Structure formats: structure tokens, C-alpha cells
Amino acid sequence: MSFKLAIVGKGGVGKTFLAGTLARLFAKDGKNVLAIDADPNLNLHATLGGISKTKMKNLTPIREMKDLIEERTGVPAGTSGMFVLNPKVDDIPDKYHVKSEDGVKLIVLGTIKTAGGGCICPESALLRALLSHIILHRDEVVIIDFYAGLEHLGRGTSKGVDAMIIVVEPGTRSLDLAKRINSLAASLGVPRRYFVGNRISNKQEEEFLLNSSKELELELLGLIPYDTEVIQSDIKGIAPIDFAPECPALVAIQNIKEILEKKLASQ
Ligand SMILES: Nc1ncnc2c1ncn2[C@@H]1O[C@H](COP(=O)(O)OP(=O)(O)OP(=O)(O)O)[C@@H](O)[C@H]1O
Ligand SMILES: [Mg+2]
């Protein structure tokens, strides 16, 4: 079974932790998994595990591959001349990835400027075409670690996202952004949108997130507790799933994965 997941939410809510861990869990089941780092902070490799710092240092994000951008769009990166709007991208996922533990393929996109940012440049056209190709045509589990803006997905591509997971932490700002992302995703045509609460330390926070999921009218996939093992894994530079596979946060993500699979299979 192949499906495409987008993980979204406010900065620091735990998108990368969830995206990387889900990617590993699906790969452990024997699925072909393609993980896309579409977050400007470029840190998905850290939660996937098995990719050395040196390897990451030497990896050029697609957006910065000047020769590739010029070859495919017909004009140099950073220019605004007439460029090919539908550049060839189908060979890029297999050529420009690094492999993590359990064989997850990781592609690092680099910063994507949104349409709202006014950037109509060849590098954005290439990234948009690449994302669209991956979402609409790749036959594998694709997990995209996003940031808040989804505009660059475009309507056609958004419909190919099987499920969007909105991560929310206890707090009004995180909830407000979740509301905006949810309505944007709905207007773009993302078919299924789910809610995941993260970093919960007590009953009051749990209540806040349960109420938030109701308020947003989003189905709850699960609640992930605040877990010091996750912090420890970050300090040690080891992926949480390798550092503490049985810790409460990991058990919660395992449950989320199972619920998600059931939902995707039944619809
Ligand atoms: N359940 C949790 N318990 C404890 N720490 C957590 C938990 N989830 C995430 N963290 C920690 O919180 C920090 C932010 O998490 P993460 O990088 O996954 O968030 P993000 O949404 O991807 O952030 P950004 O928007 O900056 O990319 C990390 O240091 C991570 O280890
Ligand atoms: Mg992140």
C-alpha cells in the first residue's frame, strides 16, 4: 500500500520528530519509504537516524543545485527569464537521495519560497514540479516534513496528498496556526486531515488538546506525551527510535501509525 502524508504545524511542535519516526516505522514494516525534508531547518535526517553529519554536510539541497536547475529549466537559478514551467524531474528522487536506517530514502529540498513570497523563479518551479511528481506519481510511502505554508503545493498536487497530519502542542498560538493550516488545506482540496497532539505534560494540557481537536472538527489520531527520552536523544544526536524505541512518546507514535493505516485502508 502506498500513500502520501504531509506533516504540518507551528514551528517547534514536533513535526520532524513525528515525520522521521513514522518514516522509520513504515520502513520497518518492509515498505518503500521516501521522506522529504521540505522544512527550511533541514533536520529530518536527525530523526531518521543513520545519516552521518559528514554525509549531510556534503549533501546539497535540490534548491541549491545550480547546474541541475539551469539544465532542467533552461535558465540559471536566481534569474527571472523565460524558463520551462514543467521541467523534467522524474529521475531526481532516485538520483539525489541519501539512505537512512531501515532504507528510508531522504530528499532534502531546501527552502521553498511560497507564491505569496512573490518568488516566481526557476528553482521554485523545479521544486514545485518535483513535489507534484512525487505526490502524484511515485508508488511508495511518501512522508513530507513541511512548514506552515502550503501554497506551493497547488490545487492539483494537494489532492494527491492522502492525509495531512496537523501537529498541535498545548498552546493558543499552535492552535490558531492549526486552524489556518486546516482551512487552507481544505480549500486546496487535501482530502483527509487529522489532528495529533504533542508534548503533553499533564491532564490540563491533554484536555486542551482534546477540546482543540473537537473545535477544529479534526479526527484525533493520538496524543504524544512530553518525554525526556526524546530530549535526551536529541542531545546525544541519536534518532529517538534508535535511542529509546520503547519510551512513551514512541509507543504513542506506534499507535498513531496503526490508527492511520486503518483509516487509510478503510477509505
Ligand atoms: N513528545 C516530545 N517530548 C519531548 N520533546 C519533544 C517531543 N516532541 C518533540 N520534542 C523536541 O522538541 C524539539 C522540537 O521538535 P521538532 O524538531 O520535531 O519540531 P518541529 O515542529 O519539526 O520544529 P521546526 O518547526 O523548528 O522544524 C526537538 O528538540 C524535539 O526533540
Ligand atoms: Mg522540523
Q: How confident is the model at residue 85 (pLDDT cuts 50, 70, 90)?
A: confident
For position 115, what pLDDT does the model report?
Answer: 47
Identify any residues that bridge with 8 across adjacent strands, giving them in sequence order: 166
Q: How far apart are CA 180 and CA 25, in angstroms?
A: 29
pLDDT digits (tens, 9 = 90+) for 125-138: 898 899 999 999 99
Q: Say how far apart CA 161 and CA 153 lie, in whole Å.
A: 10
Q: Residue 53 pLDDT more than 70?
A: yes
Closest-CA residue, ligand 1 atom 25, reads: 11
Q: pLDDT, tens digit, for every residue of 22-33?
A: 999 999 999 999
| Rounded mean pLDDT, 163-176 | 96
Decide whether any atom of ligand 1 lies within 6 Å of the 122 Cβ.
Answer: no
pLDDT of the residue at 42: 82
CATH topology of domain 4-266: Rossmann fold (3.40.50)
The confidence band for 148, taking pLDDT boundaries of 50, 70 and 90, is low
Mutate which of 17, 43, 224, 254 for ligand 1 pocket (most atoms within 8 A of beta carbon): 17
pTM of the model: 0.95
* Cβ 257 vs Cβ 141: under 8 Å: no
**Three-state DSSP state, 141:** strand
Q: Is the pLDDT of residue 102 over 50?
A: yes
> pLDDT grade, residue 226 (50/70/90)?
very high
Distance, CA of 134 to CA of 130 (rounded, Å): 6
Q: Which amino acid is at 66?
A: K
Q: Is 15 in the pocket of ligand 1 (CB under 6 A)?
A: yes
Q: Is 234 in the pocket of ligand 1 (CB under 6 A)?
A: yes
Alpha helices in the chain (DSSP H): 15-28, 44-48, 53-57, 66-73, 92-95, 122-137, 154-158, 172-188, 203-215, 228-236, 240-243, 248-266
For residue 36 and ligand 1, the question of a CB distance below 6 A is answered with no
